[in-house]
Amino acid sequence: MPSIEYSVDKRDIFFTLFEQLKIHEHLKFDAFADFDKEVYEMTLDEAVRFCVEALGPINRECDQVGATFEAQKVTMPDAFKRLYKLYCESGWAGFSHNPEYGGKGFPLTMNTVLDELITGANTSFALLPLLTHGSSHLIEAFGTEAQKKMYCEKMYSGEWGGTMCLTEPQAGSDLASIKTIAEPQGDHYLLTGTKIFITFGDQDATDNIVHLVLAKIPGGPVGTKGISLFVVPKYEVNPDGTLGERNDVYCNRIEHKMGIHSSPTCVMDFGSEGKCKGWLVGKEHHGMMQMFQMMNEARLGVATQGLAGAAASYMSALGYALERKQGSHYTSFKNPAAPRSEIVFHPDVRRMLMSMKAYTEGIRGMLYATALYADKSNHETDSEAKEFALHMLELLIPVCKAYASDMGFRVCETAIQVYGGYGYTQDYPVEQYMRDTKIASIYEGSNGIQALDLFARKLGTKKGLRYQQFSQMVHGKVEGWKSHPLASLVSSFEDALNTLDAVTKELLGGMAKGELAHGLLSATPYLEMFGNVGSAYYLLDGAVLAHDKLQTLFADNGAETAEQKTALIRNNNDAAFYHGKVCTAQFFVHNILPKNLSIAATIRSQDMSAMDILFQDERDVEVPSA
């Protein structure tokens, strides 16, 4: 296992998809009739090969060369453009898109795995397809037939790129404050305004860039209710599909960032010459509704960035720990003549590796399951099952986005610690993984916003129905596990689940009483609690399955004594894997899940010191009026 090159734990990915979630059994919908387990496995084998052999090796070069800006134009590294062409030619660009427009029609669950692989291999590279996917899907969902015909096929093939232009200098995440204006001009609009933090707002890897822009039509409602959505191509498109005149939309600067150096983050000027043409997507003043309808997939994509960074960092750190010799084995530390030991045998290193493995695999289970709910919410024919899947998707999306990106970053940080001084250098990839992963907790709605969404929207509406359904589902599984040999782990997990239930009830009760400030202060700690329980649930679910399969292997191989079982685990790959799944769940339940007790104590303390304090110089800042 290399410590420098990108590598993939394909065995765990396949276990989660096919043994635990059984996606080949749960996605038997008409839309996926051409796919079966063999097709899924062969496709993922090819994806792993592409990412490990082609995409991963250019990651450092893309980071060091970066995207460059001159004279309103962004130039991508040559390696990036070469691999992007190969990516499109190999058919990955339209992987999960509608076959009607040239896509391959794979489920979102499979696309989530592909995103993990591509993002782990090269995070900057992955962002161009991610943004193109989101913007093109908006056009397919809300555009006219002419717009779909004009844009979707070229975007699904990767020939054209796409962006989502929301943020403005004065607005940030407060989209009600955007000032970009769209003036009606017959069959189109003229846009004027500036957007910031636009990922791949300009680049030379695709022939055209299709911007999806939020703007206000004069005379519309105030606030977010007055926002509309427009398609604004870099080059106008002629009726025959060829490219026409250059539109009046230009990049005037790219940001110099901590990471993702070959993903240009652009400041975009629309209509600096008064000639920026845009075309309305859907109805006037429906822009926010349209964006939010697409938000689940976008936020799941960003959550996958956290998973990808964690997975790549863990695999690199493990490879390093297996090859790096330093110090003697802990049983011989008093013997100066003892041979040097690989650091993987040092207990503290093993603790760090287990922490990384546990977070990564718990997040993977939660994200893949959430993607499966997304597929079911789109394709289930049974109304009750469809509604349940939608409720689980809505509840878990903010948890996935925030928890995966926060914990993914911490896993990257731990990887650097495993490497020691070398991890802090550019000789090994983990320092780049950490820099590239950090952004995932900030964009697509910062994690504080995700916590507020979970608390105020997902828990606070429908009388708490979404959480009730989640809790009932998990408690049902727990009841079935109580007679299992892993019952002691189940009992510890049930205690944590009961604590989450109780804290949820208390927060909802406080919200009903108008205790808004305390609820908002508690939202982020609460989301971490939820993420810990969610990860533990999927780890434990996998461990129960793995334990049973391990017992079958023992029986089939005549391993009856402890010595025989240990020997089989050491010499049989499947036995070692299943044993590892049990150990990983055990570690998480005993070492990570107990943190929920302290989080619960924090929330229940009703401490309001953060609201009561008067920070230095705060007295000079006027308190906003209600």
Residues acting as catalytic residues? 444
DSSP line for 468-485: HHHHHHHHHHHHHHTTST
Here the contacts of 423-426 (C-beta below 8 Å, separation 24 or greater) are 423/317, 426/60
Q: How far apart are CA 85 and CA 90, in angstroms?
A: 9
DSSP 8-state assignment for residue 28: -
Per-residue exposure over 304-339, b if at least 16 CB sit within 10 Å of its own CB, e if not: bbbbbbbbbbbbbbbbbbeebeeebeeeeeeeeeee
Q: Quick one: tokens of 363?
A: 């997040």
- φ/ψ of 211, rounded to 5, equals -90, 130
- Are the beta carbons of 461 and 215 closer than 8 angstroms? no
Nearest CA to 115 out of 68, 55, 58 is that of 55
Q: How many CB atoms lie within 10 A of CB 345?
A: 16
Would you tell me the crossing angle of helices 516-556 and 383-419 to the nearest 10 degrees? 80
Give residues with Cβ within 8 angstroms of 334, minimum separation 6: none
- Residue 462 half-sphere exposure, CB side, CA atoms within 13 Å? 18
Nearest CA to 411 out of 318, 287, 504, 297 is that of 318
- Are the beta carbons of 26 and 10 closer than 8 angstroms? no
At residue 266, the 3 state secondary structure works out as strand
- Are the beta carbons of 26 and 97 closer than 8 angstroms? no
Give residues with Cβ within 8 angstroms of 318, minimum separation 6: 1, 344, 353, 357
Q: Quick one: tokens of 566?
A: 């240990």
- Residue 481 half-sphere exposure, CB side, CA atoms within 13 Å? 24
- Are the beta carbons of 12 and 361 closer than 8 angstroms? yes
Give residues with Cβ within 8 angstroms of 311, minimum separation 6: 8, 9, 116, 120, 360, 364
Amino acid at 106: F
Which secondary-structure segment (H or E) carries 278?
strand 277-280
- Distances in Å between the alpha carbon of 346 and those of 236, 325, 331, 601? 61, 10, 10, 34
- Are the beta carbons of 41 and 18 closer than 8 angstroms? yes
- Are the beta carbons of 131 and 164 closer than 8 angstroms? yes
Per-residue exposure over 135-161, b if at least 16 CB sit within 10 Å of its own CB, e if not: bbbbbbebbeeebbebbbbbbbbbebb
Give residues with Cβ within 8 angstroms of 421, minimum separation 6: none
At residue 557, the 3 state secondary structure works out as coil
